[in-house]
Amino acid sequence: MSFTKPYIFAAMSNTPDGNTLKNIVSHCKEYGFIYPSSDIYDGLGATYDYGPNGVELKNNIKNYWWQAMVRMHGNIVGLDAAIFMHPTTWKASGHVDAFNDPLIDNKDSKKRYRADVLVEEYIAKVEGKIKKEVTKAAKRFGDAFNEEEFIRTNGRVVGYKEKIAQVEKRLGSSLSSGNLADVKALIEELEIADPVSGSKNWTDVRQFNLMFGTEIGSLAEGADKIYLRPETAQGIFVNYLNVQKTSRQRLPFGIAQIGKAFRNEIIARQFIFRMREFEQMEMQFFVKPGTEMEWYESWKEKRINWHKALGLGENNYRFHDHHNLAHYANAAADIEFNFPMGFKELEGIHSRTDFDLKAHEEYSGKKLQFFDPEDNESYTPYVVETSIGLDRMFLAVMSACYTEEKLEDGSERTVLRIPPALAPNKVAILPLMNKDDLPEKAREILSQLKFDFATQYDAKDAIGKRYRRQDAIGTPYCVTIDHQTLEDDSVTFRERDSMAQERVSIAELMQTLEEKVSMKRLLSSL
């Protein structure tokens, strides 16, 4: 099938600018993707509810991840652990003592910030200056421009790069040694000002534990303090032996889980990027000690391929290797995505050594080992994990797909160019008129398609308006039923991105849609 008639005149914006995030937030609310939680009470900070289209998109992202990780790997199995866990879990994992963020207040504006984020934003500004130099030079040198050489040799750029390296090193070492006075000194030396008020009048930096605590048990005296889990990973570690034995897996093997996590984040602006209640999709891969670096590299590659297969733009991703490692890791990298507010962490890939399993062995007194029949020895496995925030992935999809377009006829449309396999609805069934047996014919088609595809039925308003509504929620195909349909069983098949239309027979519809929107096609491209 070939499409004709491309009408699009120009993409007006889906590029990072001050308004893109704001536009996405209001689009998400208007079209039933995301609402502020408890909206009628004016919302609750950093907590959001997913509406009818949002829940479909979210489920499709989950499904893509689950199928790619669990279905496509014979040695990865699933788990759904409880949110509440024995309190000792969080002592063993280090969260009670060390799951802190460094907090700083501005004395004039009374606004609270994460001290490390203020420094990271400073670094991002310096990165922005490098980008500007590169763009300027590219214009000046034209075709002869060699970006790599320019970055390596241009005095100003080299200076910026050295500055970034210095700041990163100092921040890393003062955070890992707990030298909070030096973090404050760094903020002052870099002359970082409050982004809201411009004031440089800062308090000291303090640590703030991010776990939400509550009590279990009905009587206050007999109640025990427990926590809402701040990550799903620990549910996997404490179940390591249960899962390994009952699924009869041998090393290397992985356990995958999707579930809620809770963090009392200090700053929670930026919409669903940083929430206090969010969802993680994590996979812990258990390997023989000494082989972890191979697996770490292999999982970095697999995960970036998973992202790129969606076609959201190769240049929207980059790796950020960590030089200052968390206490449990011997290698770590983030996959960063080009969100409207710049490149930020979307997923973490960490080589966690045997830190967690060893700690749980110590605190529980139970051995969490694997007997290796080939080497005839038992050992505590090492772990390589991949951890992605489902909500951040949702925002990545929205950021890349939200587009405002000017059309040839001067009109405008907002379209979500969501990859068809992830789109909340795959096809909309639209009777051209709400009479003359057209609705009956449309419902007949709907009842054939609804078992295999998420469908929408819409008979209200002019057809052009209905197409715009479907564009705005990212429906990749529309099927229009008109009088000719009653005569020859053919329909108009309209494609979202090009807006091209074509006549196809009802008999072809099922297969055509299957080819274009199926998760299978996406998965087999991995």
Residues 6+ apart with CB under 8 A from 102: 114, 115, 116, 175, 180, 183, 205, 206, 207, 208
Question: Can you tell me which of 274, 307, 413, 417 binds ligand ATP, judged by CB under 6 A?
Answer: 274
Query: Is the CB of 348 or the CB of 419 nearer to ligand ATP?
Result: 348
CB of 188 to ligand ATP, least distance (A): 23
Per-residue burial over 86-117, b if 16 or more Cβ lie within 10 Å, else e, is eeebbebbebbeebebbbbbbeeeeeebbbbe
Q: Which residue is nearest to ligand ATP (CB)?
A: 389
Question: Can you tell me which of 108, 127, 345, 452 binds ligand ATP, judged by CB under 6 A?
Answer: 345
Q: Are 386 and 347 in contact (CB under 8 A)?
A: yes
> Stretches 60-68, 76-84, 387-395, 414-422: which one binds ligand ATP (CB under 6 A)?
387-395
CB of 7 to ligand ATP, least distance (A): 37
Question: Can you tell me which of 65, 278, 306, 370 binds ligand ATP, judged by CB under 6 A?
Answer: 278
Q: With contacts defined by CB under 6 A, how many residues of the chain interact with ligand ATP?
A: 16
C-alpha neighbours within 13 Å on the C-beta side of residue 194: 18
Question: Can you tell me which of 387, 399, 414, 425 binds ligand ATP, judged by CB under 6 A?
Answer: 387
Q: Cα dihedral angle (425, 426, 432, 436), rounded to 10 degrees?
A: -90
CB of 352 to ligand ATP, least distance (A): 11
Query: Is the CB of 250 or the CB of 260 nearer to ligand ATP?
Result: 260
Question: Can you tell me which of 102, 235, 381, 389 binds ligand ATP, judged by CB under 6 A?
Answer: 389
CB of 292 to ligand ATP, least distance (A): 17
Query: Is the CB of 184 or the CB of 274 nearer to ligand ATP?
Result: 274
CB of 389 to ligand ATP, least distance (A): 3
- 348 near ligand ATP (CB under 6 A): yes
DSSP per position, 378-446? EEPPEEEEEEEEHHHHHHHHHHHHEEEEEETTS-EEEEE---TTT-S-SEEEEESSSSTTHHHHHHHHH
Question: Can you tell me which of 27, 392, 426, 469 binds ligand ATP, judged by CB under 6 A?
Answer: 392
Residues 435, 120: Cα–Cα separation, whole Å: 60
- 346 near ligand ATP (CB under 6 A): yes
Pairing of strands 277-287, 317-321: unpaired
Pairing of strands 501-505, 342-353: unpaired
> Stretches 81-89, 180-188, 339-347, 487-495: which one binds ligand ATP (CB under 6 A)?
339-347
Among residues 326, 305, 315, which one has the least CA distance to residue 233? Answer: 326
Q: Write the single-letter amino acid at 439.
A: P
> Stretches 122-130, 168-176, 270-278, 502-510: which one binds ligand ATP (CB under 6 A)?
270-278
- 54 near ligand ATP (CB under 6 A): no
- 391 near ligand ATP (CB under 6 A): yes
Residue found under tokens 């009590």: 215
Q: Write the single-letter amino acid at 325.
A: L
- 171 near ligand ATP (CB under 6 A): no
CB of 486 to ligand ATP, least distance (A): 50
Chain residues 222-261 in contact with ligand ATP, contact rule CB under 6 A: 231
Query: Is the CB of 264 or the CB of 369 nearer to ligand ATP?
Result: 264
Which ranges constitute the DSSP H helices of 67-142?
88-92, 95-98, 115-141
Q: How far is CA 26 from CA 29, 35, 494, in A?
A: 5, 9, 27
Integer-rounded Cα radius of gyration of the chain: 26
CB of 410 to ligand ATP, least distance (A): 40
Question: Can you tell me which of 263, 300, 417, 441 binds ligand ATP, judged by CB under 6 A?
Answer: 263
Question: Can you tell me which of 292, 347, 458, 482 binds ligand ATP, judged by CB under 6 A?
Answer: 347
Question: Can you tell me which of 280, 316, 380, 414 binds ligand ATP, judged by CB under 6 A?
Answer: 280
Write 513-517 long-range contacts (CB < 8 A, 24+): 513/426, 513/427, 513/449, 513/452, 513/453, 513/477, 514/452, 516/420, 516/476, 516/477, 517/420, 517/421, 517/423, 517/426, 517/427, 517/453, 517/476, 517/477
Question: Can you tell me which of 275, 359, 506, 509 binds ligand ATP, judged by CB under 6 A?
Answer: 275
Start-to-end Cα distance in the chain: 25
- 303 near ligand ATP (CB under 6 A): no
Query: Is the CB of 387 or the CB of 403 nearer to ligand ATP?
Result: 387
- 284 near ligand ATP (CB under 6 A): no
Cα 450 versus chain centre, distance: 29
Sheet with 490-495: list strands edge to edge. Answer: 455-457, 427-431, 477-481, 490-495, 501-505
Q: CA angle 121-346-314, nearest 5°?
A: 100
Q: CA angle 434-440-442, nearest 5°?
A: 80
CB of 300 to ligand ATP, least distance (A): 14
Per-residue burial over 307-326, b if 16 or more Cβ lie within 10 Å, else e, is bebbebeeebbeeeebeeee
Q: Which phi and psi (to 5°) does residue 333 adopt?
A: -145, 150
> Stretches 87-95, 218-226, 384-392, 468-476: which one binds ligand ATP (CB under 6 A)?
384-392
Question: Can you tell me which of 24, 388, 398, 522 binds ligand ATP, judged by CB under 6 A?
Answer: 388
Query: Is the CB of 346 or the CB of 427 nearer to ligand ATP?
Result: 346
Site string for ligand ATP, 184-223 (x = CB under 6 A): ----------------------------------------
CB of 348 to ligand ATP, least distance (A): 4
Catalog residues that contact ligand ATP under the rule CB under 6 A: 231, 263, 265, 274-275, 278, 280, 345-348, 387-389, 391-392
